[in-house]
Structure formats: C-alpha cells, structure tokens
A and B are shown apart, each in its own frame.
Chain A
Amino acid sequence: MRFTVTQIPPGASTSLNLLLKRGKIIAFFISCLLLNAFSAAAQGNITVKGRITDNSNAPIAKASVTVKGSSTGVTANDNGEYIIDVPSNATLVISSIGYTTTEVEVKGQSTHNISLASNAANLNEVVVIGYGTQRKADVTGSTVSVKGETLSEIKAPNILNQLQGRAAGVDIVNNSTQIGSGGQIRIRGNRSITGNNDPLIVVDGMAYGGSLNDITSENIANLDVLKDASATAIYGSRGANGVIIITTKHGLNQKAVTTYSGYVGVSKAIDTYRLFNGEEYATFKAEAATGNSNSPNTNLYALTNIEKTNLAAGVSTDWQDLLLTTGIRTGHDLGVRGGNERTQYSFGVGYYRETGIIYDQSLDRYSFNINIDHKLSERIKVGFTSFNTMLRSNRLGTNAYGSATRLGPLFKPYNDDGTINFKPASQQGVDAQQINPLTSIGNDDLIKAFQRRYQFQHNFYAEVKILKELKFKTTFGYGWSQTFNSNYTGPNTVFNSNTTTAQSSLNESNAEGWQYTLNNSLEYNRTFADKHKLQVLALQEVQKNSFRSQRVNGLGVPADFIQDYNLNLVYTLTAESNSAGYSESALIGYMGRAIYSFDDKYLLTATVRTDGASVLAQGHKWTTYPAVSVGWNIDKEKFMQNVGFLSNLKLRAGWGISSNAGINPYTTLGSLGTNFYNFGQGTTVGTNFVNGYTINTSPNPNLSWEKTSGLNIGVDFGLLKNRISGSIEYYNTKTSDILLQRNLPRSNGTNSILTNVGKTASHGMEFSISSVNIRSKSGFTWRTDANAFFNREKITELQLGLKQDINNGWFVGHPITTIYDVKKIGIWQTSEAAQAAVYGVKPGDIKLEDVNKSNSIGQEDRQVVGDFQPDFVAGLTNHFEYKNFDLNVVLFGRFGQTVVATYLAADGGGAGYPFFLNSRVNQLKVDYWTPTNPTNAFPQPDAGVDGLRFTSTLTYQDGSFIKIRSIDLGYNIPGSWLGKSGISAIRAYVSTQNPFILWSPLVRDHLGIDPEGNGTGNSVGTTAGGPTPVQGRSITVGMGVPPSRLFIFGVNVKF
C-alpha cells in the first residue's frame, strides 16, 4: 500500500465525484462473487498473481496489495502486476490513491485481475451529512467535501489557510499577517447584520468549542461543508452560517502502518512597501513646502541638519529591510494506524513550529491524538477519541513595523561605532523622542508577549445493534481549553519610550472554557422490496458551554527581569475594566430525519429539529426547524441509457430553515448598569460605600433567533464516462428576525432593546468541475479541479423601516460591508483653478463628485462607493503526474471587491496614519500631484496641514487578485530502491506557498503588497462629516508586516 499522501486527490470537487461507470462496478462485484463461488476451501499458502487496472483497463502502477489482518504485503509494479504468497483462504486488500480500496477473497484462486474503481467518481463513497453519513449518490443537500490530504498540501498552521480556494461557496479571506493567524470564513456570504457569521465547526460529530488553530490537518481524514439550509437544518439553531464537519483519522483493519511526515521551510516577505528613498523623501519635503497652504514655501519639518548631511552622503536607510528576517516553518507528524477485526486504533503526535519574518516571533504547537474503536461483541461497539494540543507563542502581535515605515530614510540606523542610533530623529521636534525601531529586536527581558493555549477534546461512544436494522448510539464529548497571556513592555524600546521601570507596563490574562455534548440516537436502516431504501434517525442532544476570563494590568516593576512573574512587586495593579468574562449556555435538541430512496432514482430527505436554548427567555425557549430535500438520479432512467456522453446526471432541490445562535447568554433577562455611591464620608462598605444599579436593558422575553430559510437547486453531472464531472448550484436565502438594537423613546426608561427586526437576502451560484484532461498510457496524467462562485448579499429591511442606518453602515439593498463616503473623481488640475475655487480648494487638491450640485462638498454628497463583496471567487487546482513525479498548482482569485488601504489616508487626528502628514514622516511613495506632474492619482503634499482633507477617498482601491496559493512538486521513491529497509513508501517534495500574485491592480499600481487584507477597521473618518465611512468590522489593508512567501522541503514516509 502506498502512502496516502503521495497522490493528491481532487480537492474542492470531491463532493461532486460522480465519475464512475456503474456497469463496470456491478460487473466487478459479480465477478468477485462468481470467483468466490467456484473456489474450493483453501488449504495452506498459494501464490497469487494478477494485474491491477482502472476502469479503462489501464494499469494502476504501485498499487498496494496486502493480506487482510496481517503484515504481509507487496506493491504492484509500474504495469500494475503483482505477485504474492498468501494463505489460500486469505483476503487481499488492494488499494491505491485515487481509487476505492477493494477486498478480494483468494479462495484458492491463483489469479486475480482486479479492477479498481476511481474514487474520484465513487458513487458509493459516503459523505458526512451531520449526525451520520450518506452515500454520495443519495445526497440531496448542498455539501462539499475536502480530503485531509488535500488540506495538507498547504503547509499552513490552520485549516482556514488550507481550505482557501478549494471549495465552492466557501470564501476565506486573510485578515492578518501575524503568524499562526487564520482568516475570516464565510459560507455563502453574510447573513446576520450584527451577529456572528462564522460557521459551526463539528469535529467527529461533536460541536467544537475550540479554535480552528487547534486542529492539525495531518489528523483530518475528511472535511465536509454543509452549505444550504436543507443540509444545515439538522443543526437547527446553530446551522444558519453553514457547518464544517471534520472527521479525524480512525484506525483501520490492517497491519500497523507507521507514517511520518515532516517538512522544513523558510519564509520571506513577499515584498516590502515601496516607500520614499532618501532622495525621493527630500524631494517630497520640498514639494510639500511648495504646496504649503498655510505659510507658502515653508516646511516646519524640513530636513534637519542630520538629514541634510546624510542626504549628501548618500544615506538611504531601508528600515523595513532591517526589521525583516527569514522565518522558519517546520512540521513533524508521526502516526501509527492499524488494528484487527475487533479493534482499530490510530495514534498521532505532531510538532509544528513557525518563526516570523519579524525577529523573535515564534509559535510552537504540540499535538497528540488517539482514536480507538473496539467491538465488544457483534452487536456492541465502543470507541474513544482524544485530541490534544498545546500552543505556545511569543511576540506574535508585537512589531515595530509602524514606526519603521514612518521613520525617515535619511536617518542612520546605527552609530559609527556600530551601536544602535537610539533616537535617530533627535533633531526633529515632534519626533525627537522616537526610539529606533531596531530596539524591537532581541531585548527579551523588555519585550514579552507570551501566549500559551491548551485545548483538548475527548469523545466516547457506544453503539448497540438492537436489531439488524436498528442501531442505538450514544456519544459523549468533552472539550476544554485554556489561554494564558503574559505580556511585559519595559522601558527604552520603541514600544515604551519611558525611561524607567516605573513606567513599564504588563498585563496577564487567563481565559478558559469547556463544553460538553451528549447525544443519543436511534438509527433504522432497511431496504424493502429491494427498491425502497429507508434510513430513519431519531436523536436527542444536550450541549453545554462555559467560558470565563479575567485580566489584570500592571504599571511599574522594580526590574525588567521581574516582568510579570511577581505581581506582588508591581507598583500599580488594576483589573482591566470590563475584562471579566463569564457565560454559560445550554442547548437541548430533538431531531428526526428520514431518508428515503426509490430504486436509487428518487430521493427524499426530510428533517425536523426542535431546539431548546438557555439563552432564550422563559416560555420562548423552544424553536423548530423543518427541512426537506429531494433528488432525482436522471441517469438511472431508461430514457437516459442511450445518451452516451452523459454518464451521470442528478437533480437536487432542497428547502429548510436554520438559525444563527447569535443571542448572547443573559440577553433576555435584562441587565442593570452599575455605578457607585457614597452615603456620607465614612468608608464602611455597605453603609457608606454602596454599589449602585440602574436599568440598563429591560428584560426581553420575546427575543428569538435569527432565522434563515433557503432554497437550493443543484445539478450534478458526469460526462464522457465521468472524465468530466461537476455540479452547478443555485441558492436563494432569506434571513429574517435579524437582531438589531432598536432605539426606544427615552420615556421607556431604557434606551434601546435588541429586537428581531432586520432582514437580509442572498443568492448565488456555485460551479465546480473536475476533469481528467489527459491520462496517457505512458503514465502521464493531468487533472483539473476548478470552482467558482458568486454570492450577492444585501440587507432588505432595517429597524423602524429605515432605508439606511449610516451610523452603523447598514444600507437596504447593499451588503453589510458597504463603504459610504464622498467619491474622488480626480485631482484638480491647473487649468481648473477657477472651478476648484468654487469649492474653496485649489489645483492639486482632491476633486470630488458634487452629487447634489450645490457647489460645496458635504454629507449630502456621500454615496455608496464600494463594498467588500467580491463579484466572484474562483479556485483552480491542476494535478500532473508522470511516473513517480507529481505536481500540483493551486490558484485562487477574488474579483470585484473594494479594499480599504488605510495608509493612503490621514485625518490629522486619532487615526494618525502617515499619509502626507505635514510631510513630517516617511510614507508610501505615491504619484502625487505637483504643478509639473499633473496626475489624477494623489493630491499635492502640503506641509501646512496634519492631514489633507478627504483623504479617506484615496483609500478605496480595487481589491481583485489572482494568486498562486501553492506549487507542490513530489517524487515517489521507487519501491525497488527501498528494498528491505522496512520502509514501504517515501514521497519527497518541494513546495512553495504564496509564490506569486499573478494579477492585482493594487500591487500593479505599487499601492500595496497584497490586496487580501491584514486587519479590520482602522480607517479614517470622512471630511465630509458624519460617521465613519468604513465600519470597524470591515477587513482592511494596513501597512503592517508583509505577507510571506514560503519554500518547503518535506518527506512523507510510511513504514
């Protein structure tokens, strides 16, 4: 048997794998039966040989042939031929990546030519559908399935990075460049306006309370995504945002197989921000003096003497370069899987380490997993799953990149004696105290940002076959996590410009949560009269979550090495206000589901779930969710049998309701605001010092869930004997009862109340296609998996019938990521001076669209200028195989979204970006206007103002991109080389992640490094007045640590 990672199965489209020639499979089974029937009872060992082929009779090279229940096994040669000595009554297990593992009883027969079915087209493949599995052919909802191996192709610390671009309808966007960070995941877009839009994560059947960072992909057998309401209704009150179901690797009924996969790689910044160099910076300051609107031709921040000297000496410091280093990423996973008829087991240990492209940042993760399944008897099966992780990180969020991108290039980083130039800008008034960003490197006693996180999840189950058709199963899962943060910032670094430890700051926080789930189910499976298949499930579930946290801040310790180790020595300790967190919630669910199929042609799934939730008010705790979906395997119809090119065709339709568990615990009870009072000047607590309470929110017994109902229509197809397969889905989703704060007349005695008043709607289409482009006899294979989707979401109703709620950035008819601001239409040119003067501005200033033609720019001129919703998202994976080589290339693209590049603006106030800013500091090199450079891109620098007016309009940029996510080249070392080393397979590979951005307007125009986003919010307000044009929830591109490109060498070894 070859190691499972050696060949990459299709990714996003595996759920749509309907590529099998049904006739062949049936013939195969019949031949097996016949063979069995004619074989005599065997005695002793015999030699069995044969040829292993695929369904087009092409040989399958290097297929694994083992004897079931023993350690005996061989590997077929490149022509698919094998020879093996086995007991005459043995059962052979034949497997090869990309094909369905098949068992054949020897029965004394010495030749077994075996045809393996491609599992890329395996209609018998089961997919996970929530509280159970279903044959792919019978599925009626909208699901997508991704193999663990596919995820592992991307060497990233978490599943979100690995899933990006792999599954239609699953949109994942980075929102941080911090190492170990995940991203934002949306399944079919946003539905909730104020609540959570994250999907539910289920691991091995249990709702998962931990972070996706805690799950190693090496431990994942399969990842399934339930997208439409008919599929998610089974999760009732938690299912509206889609469900990601992770199935971990279980043991196998086979001899023990030990696998090791390890890799080591280096990461480098994909680029640095293109800032002004020394000379350009000097010119910029001079131009800013020219443009000075307050005192023409002066610059308060003109070059200082130090800078002038350095300019003459040709100094041009690249501060970014000095802060960046080479990061290392390495992962090692060791697994043992095996078992026999009665007991199967799987153990895994893993270690992952990543260091940042910023010095001293590190992340280590240790993991340990166990899976055991055991048959107590023919009727009773029990099992245990445990997965455990510990994460330790330091300085992840800590970097001096912000200072480094501002500090002028005409300052020297080091003194002549090699020491750090501590305050490089010492001659420049306001910035004189700026400490050299290089103090962020090293200084371990002064800079600590440590986090340690433990997470475990333990599941137990017992399964009893009460009758042949009736199975009872009980599962109990318990998860726990704890996060400890320990931070210290000592004096005299770029992070703390104070000079004594009296001003050193520290904080410590602890958070822990636990969760248990218990479910009991009865499952009835029966086929009546050969054609009526019925599967009925009744389930009862209880889930409870608990969370608590505290944080303490400190100011001043006697010495830096004390850090936060001894709080008793800290001068001032305070509990962070509102840092205490506590919540508990519970859910009780009853669910029933019936799956019926007639003659494998007509399929019906009906679900009903009733959830009782602690977070809802007394008397209103229970909600019921119905769903129904139907399917029609058209290819099974007689009239389709002669349509040669069409090998598979299925129509699906479904409707259901689910909701989003977006009500925080205790919300319905009402709450009291707290204050304090003193009665008299005594200090007796309770008599003099009294805690006070006034009404904050009223009890709200009518609060209910946000409900999403959705219609989904899908077509699955296979063409040309399933060499091309795919699916098309259309969905239309409406969410109502959206939770919105409704402001009340103040005479109610409460300011606002959370009510179910809003509505959103979304619709979209998803396309997935997989094709075997070339499969030559010479062994060359080229396969392509492509997916593309678009989602159109919009708000359709707000509180009080409002058409727009500008404060909250909600606009009926638009997505929730809408940007509302005045619109830049260019730069006023010299020839337009008179026109510009009408608006009180001059050539070189930003020209804005005067919507109401009032000859002035104000709030009325604001309009919707963009949103973060892409026009469409696409992923493309190409697989090439030739003899022992395989190559995978993953592309990913998002198109049509507007991103906010926050550093292209400054408001001269709180937001404090360096954009122009009196020309005081360095910044991104932009094509700015001067009388001799009449550009329409950016305005004229002005040394007379902190922030130019209306610069918010400069930040809205086209965020489209096409990226190569990874290129992965592997080589399977031939079995003959391995000989009797005990190693059965080795795959060695080189891989690069994020190698290129193929296309991106933002990058093309040198306005950024990566349009994908590295944070949220942080945009400046609009000079036009009114609230912020970009909401804090929006993903934005800031001038932070650049994203990195990774080169990896790795091996997968199987013993």
Chain B
Amino acid sequence: MNYRSFRYSLFFGVMIFASTGCKKLLEEQPRLGFAPTFFTTTDGIQGGIAGVYSSFRGQWATQIFTQLYNSGTDESLRGAAADVQHWFTYNQSLIKSSTGDYEGFWNVLFIDINTLNGVLQFGADADIPAATKTQLLAQAKFLRGFCYFYLVTTFGQVPLHTTFNTSPSAADSPAPLADLYALIIKDLTEASNDLPNTPATGTGKPATKSTALFLLAKTYLWRGWSSVAQPTDFTQAYTISKGIIDNKATYGLNLLPFFNTIFREGNEYSSEVLMVIDHTKDLKFGQNSNPGTGAGGPSENKSNFFWRSGYDLIKSDYPGTAGATVVGRDPQNGRPFRRIRPNAKYILETAFANRATDQRYDGTFQTIWLSNGGSYPSGQNTMPAGTNGATVNGKVLINKVDTAIWLRDRVVTPAERAAFKGIMFEPDYLPGATIKFTDQMFPSIRKFDDSTRIDQNDYSDRPYILFRFAEVYLIAAEAALKGGATTQNAADMINVLRTRAALKDKQTPVEYTAAVAAQQITAAQVTLDFILEERSRELFAEDCRWWDLSRTKKLVERVKLYNPEAQNVADHNMLRPIPQSQIDLVTEGPKYPQNPGYF
C-alpha cells in the first residue's frame, strides 16, 4: 500500500463523510407523538377536529360543569352532595375566592382555539384534495366559532386569538365584544357555507350546515341582546332559524312526535338532534374506564348521575333510618349523586304547572321508583320480579311490581297514604306536607337514563345531546318577540312545540285533540317570561339555563322571584368570573381585568 495515498484518501474520505449529511443530522423527527406541523396532513387536520370534539367530553356531562351552568337559576337548587355550593347560593365572598371553578372551561376552550388556529393555519397549506380540505376547514371554523361563542357568552370580553401561537407571551388582554362577535359570525357563516347538509352516513351527529346555522342564529340572538347589538341581529336570528325549519327535510331534521322519545336510549342521532358530544361503549375511543370500576375517567358521560336523588337512602321506616332499603341502587335507577335538584315550587307551580295537557313534566322527571329488594353496596340488584322486597308499614313490597317511592305533586290525605304500600313524598313548599321532598329525595331527571350499563355506578355510554331541533323554534320565537318578526310568528313557533307536547301515553284521540287545543297560545300570551318558561318545559336540565337567563338579562329578577336559596344573586353574576389564574399569569403588560363585581 502506498501510505501517502492512504493517508490522503483517509483524510479526504473522512472529511467528506463528516461534512455530508451534517445538516440532516440536526433535523428532528419525533416518533412517539406529534408536533403541531402534523396539522398539515389530512390525518392531522381530522385529528385536530376530533381532538377538539373530544375535549368537550371533559366539560359537558361532567360533575363540576353540570353544576356550574345549572346552579343559581330559577330551575334548580342545591342537592345534598353539591360541590360548588357558592354558585347555588351566590355566596359572593366565597365566589370571589373560587374563580378557579371556571378555569377548566376557560382553559380547554382556549387550547381548542389554539389547536383550531393551528389546523386552519397549517391546514390551509396542506397538500390534500380541495373538497376534503374545505370540509375539514369548515369543521375547524365551526368549532372555533363554537369555542368563542361559549367563551363570550360565559365570560363576556375575552382575548381574541386567530393565529396559531408560536410565541407564547405573559401579556394578554380582552378584545372588544364587537370584534369577538364578528369573528364568531364570520366563522359560523363560512362554516355554514361549506359544511354538508347532513352528516356522512353512520358518523353520528357532528356539526353540519344546520348546526352552524343554529349556532349562528343563536349568536345573532345573543348579540341582539348585547351592548354591541346591531339593528338587524334579531331579524337575522329569526330568518336563519326559520330557514332551518323551512329546509328541515334538506337537513334531515324533524321534531320527533312524542316528547319522551327524544331522550330515549338509542335516539341520540335522531332527526330531532342537531349535534352530539359523542360517546360509545368502546373503552379506547369512548375514553371510558373499565365498567364496574367506578366511573373514574374525566371524559366519561356522567350526566346520568347529577340530578339523581338518593332513592337508595330511603328506609322502610322513613323518616327513620333503621329499616330496610326499599329501593336498592341498580343500573336502571342509576347512581344517585344528588348534586342538583329541581326547584320543586318553580317546576310544579310555574314551568310545569300544566301537567294535564302537557306531557313534558312526565317526560322530564322521574317520580316513581319500583321496589327492587336490593341493597347497595352488597352487590348488584338481581332480585327477580315478583319476589318480596322491603316491608313498609307492615305491607310487603313486591319487587318490580310495587311502587316503593312516589314523589307526589301535591299533599296527600292520610287515607291515600294508608292505602299506598310504599312511601309517598310531598312537595316541601306546600303547607301540610308531612313527608317532604328534601335535598336528598326529589324528582329526578330522566333525560339521561342509561339502563344498559353493567354496574349501577357506571358512567353512561350514550352520546350527549348538545343541540336539538326544538330549540330552533325557541330561538326563532325569542328573535320574533324582540323585533325580528311579529309576536304572532313567535306564537306560531312556540305552538309547534306545545302541540307536540300534547301527545301523551295511553291517550284517546279525543283527549289528544282536546289537549292540542288547550296547548295553543296566542300572540298576546308571548312574553319573554313565557318564552323562558317554555324553554324550561322543553330544555330542562339540558345545561343551558344560566346562559338563557344571562342572555335575556332575567337572571336576577327570576332567581330572586323563584329561588329562595339564591337571593344573593347580583347583576354581575350574568357573567362568570375570569379565573384568577388567568389574571395572575398575565405578568407583562396591563393587568388582566376581572369581570365587574368579582375582584
């Protein structure tokens, strides 16, 4: 070997090896997860959208969320096991130190917005078929509009970010309300232009054109009520709502004929439903914990827990506590979390005062529990029908046949009580009531029942119904009343729902006809309070009451009128507080302002 050539070839060989590919060496390719640039791919955009939908699972139908947005209204009172009690009572001093209650909602919506900004920004340049891209980006716009809609309607002015954040900063400030509404309207308008009329077959109920229009109408309605109202807002809200109704066939929408079936298990994707937050039995994609392990997952649908009374606490010697359990906890009756209870006086005397011709009281509330002989926690109740259950007042209850607990809507006579095998409860507000509704035992909500679960303590695998077609009529009615159309138009819209509500179980045609007639209202009857009460009848417990009262500026008036537990309510409660962490973490630039009244 020629050493001279060896050493030169070695030298140059090494140098060439070392200098080529150096640049490439410094590039990074993660493989365990994703960088935001993944949003430049079809899977990434689709995943970003799925990720945002999935994030809603952590809010709607979870424990704190459900209490935060239903508490402190005319409709509901504190349950025995309520968590955020200061919001039920408007204990303003506790509220001031508990603004962190809203941190989760604030946080997740802003993360969603940043995600969607990433999807929109990177996705615009993505090399994917134009049609697919349009659809996906329309979803992203809808979702961004959705997130800002909930931020603005909850907190008022919030920061407005429409570009993907690559230089996080400790400075931030709220944007003008007009700009925020303008963005929501722009996003939802563009989304409604591009989204399909109906979802692809078999994909449940994600947002479609009609969903975007629905939220757009509602946004106009909100802005119409707001300090930045535009003259055409209510007209827009009415026109868009009516457009949805007029084209309901195109959008695959229709009211279901019988109120009770709307929330029947298996009807979550019905023509009545505009959008769901989806859930499924599958543990992985449903993000569910193993059945029977206590529903510990933060993304599970637990709507079936919170409005449920403590039926399993009632002993045969009630109000004694030594007797046998008359109704054991079982999958059919569900897990009694007792976080919220309906305001009995309001529902029985105001919203659902007409229980004769209106089916919606029975369709909304569970007032009857059958004996099942079971006794939690000794295992699941498997007592067959016909066996003996607990003995109440010397009478043996027959399981799955006899009513063990009955929540009456009036005071009963001693004779009635004596003739009844089980235990009867009477509305607590009524004079003469002996065995009263309590914060443990109250009419429960049946809209979220899920009987197909394995364990009584399990979450529900039902999709959570977020928006439904009936509300379009109520939006239209409210918009009409506010000048978007005539009060007759408003009455017409409401009468559609009231007509549907006339249909009852085991009703003769004659009875039905009479009921329909009784249900009709005239233009003169349409007032804002009437619409709000109609909303109660139709949408009770569907997680929108506080927003409805806030939008219509009726919160203080109606809460003071109907809710004896929440007399501390004040005007500033029409906005929720900015989470203290947001204020604390803005450490540069101007201090981030708290909403008035909270400090």
Interface residues of A (CB under 8 A from B): 376-377, 379-380, 462, 464, 466, 472, 474, 518, 520, 540, 542, 544, 580-586, 588, 612-615, 621, 665-666, 669-684, 687-695, 698-702, 742-751, 753, 800
A669 touches B10 (CB 8 A): no
A695 contacts which of B33, B36, B53 (Cβ < 8 Å)? Answer: B36
Partner of A621, one of B26, B110, B278, B592: B26
Shortest Cβ gap from B105 to chain A (Å):
10
Task: Choose from B15, B35, B168, B285 the contact partner of A669 (Cβ within 8 Å).
Answer: B35
Residues from chain B with Cβ under 8 Å of A676 in the complex: 50, 54, 284-287
- Nearest-CB residue, chain B, relative to A742: B170
**Residues in chain B near residue A751, CB distance under 8 A:** 107, 111
Asked if A692 contacts B168 (CB within 8 A), the reply is no
Residues on the B chain within 8 Å of A472, using CB: 7, 11
Q: Are B51 and A745 in contact (CB under 8 A)?
A: no
The reply to whether B286 and A518 form a contact with Cβ atoms under 8 Å apart is no
Separation in Å of the B36 CB from the closest CB of chain A? Answer: 5
A672, B38: Cβ atoms under 8 Å? yes
Residues 567-589 of chain B, each 1 if its beta carbon lies under 8 Å from chain A, else 0: 00000000000010110011100
A614 to B202, Cβ gap below 8 A?
no
- Please tell me which stretch of B157-165, B305-313, B330-338, B549-557 contacts chain A, meaning at least 4 of its Cβ atoms lie within 8 angstroms of it: B157-165
Q: Does B22 contact A (CB under 8 A)?
A: yes
| B-side contacts of A377, CB under 8 Å | 3
A700: chain B residues within 8 A (beta carbon): 168
Give the shortest distance, in Å, between A801 (CB) and chain B (any CB). Answer: 8
Docked Cα-Cα span, A580 to B31, in Å, equals 10
Residue of B107, B117, B167, B286 near A746 (CB, 8 A) is B107
Other A-B pairs, 12, CB within 8 Å; known A464-B7, A679-B199: A582-B30, A582-B31, A612-B22, A614-B26, A675-B51, A678-B278, A680-B269, A688-B202, A690-B285, A691-B43, A743-B585, A753-B168
How many angstroms from the CA of A691 to the CA of B287 in the assembled complex?
11
A670 near B35: Cβ-Cβ < 8 Å: yes
List B residues 324-370 near A (Cβ within 8 Å).
none
Alpha-carbon distance between A520 and B284 when the two chains are bound, in angstroms: 52
The answer to whether B26 and A748 touch across the interface, beta carbons within 8 angstroms, is: no
Indicate if the CB atoms of B35 and A692 lie closer than 8 Å: no
Residues of A within 8 A of B25 (CB): 542, 544, 586, 588, 614
Cβ contact within 8 Å between B165 and A698: yes
A675 adjacent to B54 (CB under 8 Å): yes
Flag if B111 contacts A694 (CB, 8 Å): yes
Q: Is there contact, CB below 8 Å, between A682 and B51?
A: no
CB distance from B583 to the nearest CB of A (A): 8
Q: In whole Å, how far is B322's beta carbon from the nearest beta carbon of chain A?
A: 24
Q: Which of A542, A582, A683, A693 is in CB contact (< 8 Å) with B44?
A: A693
Q: Which residues of A contact B44 (CB under 8 A)?
A: 693
Known: A621-B26, A679-B206, A693-B38. Is A520-B18 also a contact (CB below 8 A)?
yes
Could you say which of A542, A673, A683, A689 contacts B22, with CB atoms under 8 Å apart? A542
Q: Does B494 contact A (CB under 8 A)?
A: no
Interface pair B50/A677, CB less than 8 Å apart: yes
Closest residue of chain B to A544 (Cβ to Cβ) is B25
State whether B36 touches A694 (Cβ < 8 A): no
Q: Which residues of A contact B36 (CB under 8 A)?
A: 669-672, 695, 698-699
Give the contacting residue for B28; candidates A588, A669, A681, A688; CB below 8 A: A669
Q: Which of B47, B107, B112, B203 contacts A680 (CB 8 A)?
A: B203
Partner of B280, one of A379, A466, A678: A678
Contacts A680-B203, A694-B51, A694-B55 given: A518-B7 contact, CB under 8 Å? no
Chain A residues, CB < 8 A from B1: 376
CA distance A418 to B53 in the complex (A): 64
Please judge, given known A-B contacts A379-B3, A670-B36, A690-B50, whether A678 and B286 are in contact too, CB under 8 Å.
yes
> Cβ of B33 and Cβ of A692 under 8 Å apart?
no
Interface 1/0s, chain B 194-207, versus A by CB < 8 A?
00000110111010
Chain A's closest residue to B204 (CB) is: A680
Q: Are A750 and B53 neighbours in the complex by a CB distance under 8 Å?
A: no
Q: Which residue of B lies closest to A668 (CB)?
A: B28
Across-interface contacts of A672 in B (CB, < 8 A):
33-36, 38, 47, 51, 115
- Contact (Cβ within 8 A) A747 B161: yes
For the complex, give the distance between the alpha carbons of A753 and B269 in Å: 40
Taking the complex as formed, is B37 at the interface, i.e. its CB lies under 8 A from any CB of chain A? Answer: yes
15 A–B pairs (Cβ distance < 8 Å), ordered by A: A464-B11, A472-B7, A518-B18, A540-B18, A542-B25, A586-B25, A621-B26, A671-B34, A680-B202, A694-B115, A744-B170, A745-B170, A747-B161, A753-B168, A800-B587
Query: What is the CA–CA distance of A672 and B284 in the complex, to the nearest angstrom?
Result: 18
Q: A675-B287, A675-B299, A693-B38 are in contact. Are A745 and B172 (CB under 8 A)?
A: yes
Q: Within the complex, what minimum Cβ distance (angstroms) separates B418 from chain A?
A: 45
Q: Report which of A380, A698, A743 forms a contact with B166, defined as CB distance below 8 A.
A: A698
A694 is contacted by which of B31, B52, B582, B585 (Cβ under 8 Å)? B52
- For A614, what are the chain B residues with a Cβ–Cβ distance below 8 Å? 25-28
Residues in B neighbouring A694, C-beta threshold 8 A = 48, 51-52, 54-55, 111-112, 115
* In contact, B47 and A690 (Cβ under 8 angstroms): yes
With a cutoff of 8 Å between Cβ atoms, the chain A residues found around residue B279 in the complex are 678
Residue of B nearest to A540 (CB): B18
Rounded to whole angstroms, the CA-CA distance of A674 and B117 in the bound complex is 17
Interface flag for B103 (CB, 8 Å): yes
Docked Cα-Cα span, A698 to B166, in Å, equals 6
A380 x B585 contact (CB < 8 A):
no
User: In the complex, which residues of chain A have a beta carbon less than 8 angstroms from the beta carbon of B168?
Assistant: 698, 700, 744, 748, 750, 753
Q: When the two chains form their complex, are residues B28 and A666 in contact, meaning their CB atoms are under 8 A apart?
A: yes
Tell me whether B32 is interfacial, beta carbon within 8 Å. yes
Tell me the complex Cα distance, A580–B32, Å: 7
Q: Give the CA-CA distance A735 to B110 in the complex, in Å.
A: 35
- Asked if A695 and B118 sit within 8 Å, CB to CB, the answer is yes
Q: Chain A contacts of B11 at CB under 8 A?
A: 464, 472, 474
- Which residue of B32, B54, B587, B592 contacts A692 across the interface (Cβ within 8 Å)? B54
- B142 at the A interface (CB under 8 A): no
Complex Cα–Cα for A586 and B39 (A): 26
Expressed in whole angstroms, the minimum distance between the Cβ of B215 and any Cβ of chain A is 19
Q: Are B282 and A748 in contact (CB under 8 A)?
A: no
A679 with B172: CB separation less than 8 A = no
Rounded to whole Å, the gap between the CB of B118 and the closest CB of chain A is: 6
CB distance from B274 to the nearest CB of A (A): 15
In the complex, are the beta carbons of A671 and B18 less than 8 A apart? no
In the complex, the answer to whether B51 meets A746 with C-beta atoms within 8 Å is no
Pair A693/B18 contact, Cβ less than 8 Å: no
Complex CA gap A698/B113 in Å reads 13
Question: Assuming A676-B285, A680-B204, A747-B582, is B22 touching A588 (CB within 8 A)?
Answer: yes
Contact B107 A678 (CB under 8 A): no
Which residue of A462, A692, A702 contacts B47 across the interface (Cβ within 8 Å)? A692
Structural contact, A681 and B204, CB atoms closer than 8 A? yes
Which residues does chain A contribute within 8 Å of B284, judged by CB atoms? 676, 689
In the complex, A580→B107 CA distance in Å? 28
Given the known interface contacts A672-B38, A678-B279, the answer about A747 and B158 at a Cβ–Cβ threshold of 8 Å is yes
Q: Please tell me if the beta carbons of A693 and B586 are within 8 angstroms of each other in the complex.
A: no
CB distance from B281 to the nearest CB of A (A): 8
A748 touches B280 (CB 8 A): no
- In contact, A380 and B3 (Cβ under 8 angstroms): yes
Beta-carbon nearest neighbor of A543 in chain B: B25
Say yes or no for B169: interface residue by CB 8 A criterion.
yes
Query: CA of A750 to CA of B36 in the docked complex: distance in angstroms?
Result: 12
Interface check B440, CB cutoff 8 A: no
State whether A671 and B202 are in contact (beta carbons under 8 Å apart), knowing that A464-B7, A518-B17, A678-B280 are contacts in the complex: no
- Is B375 an interface residue when CB atoms closer than 8 A count as contact? no
In the docked arrangement, what's the CA distance between A694 and B109, Å?
11
Chain A residues whose CB sits within 8 angstroms of the CB of B43 once the complex forms:
691
Q: By the criterion CB–CB under 8 Å, are A690 and B33 in contact? A: no
- A670 closest partner in B (C-beta): B36
What's the Cα separation between A687 and B199 when bound, in Å? Answer: 12
CA A669 – CA B30 in complex, angstroms? 9
Q: Report the minimal beta-carbon distance from A277 to chain B, rounded to whole angstroms.
A: 42
Sorted nearest first, the 10 A-B pairs with minimum C-beta distance are: A749-B114, A692-B51, A680-B204, A692-B50, A669-B35, A586-B25, A690-B50, A677-B54, A677-B50, A747-B159
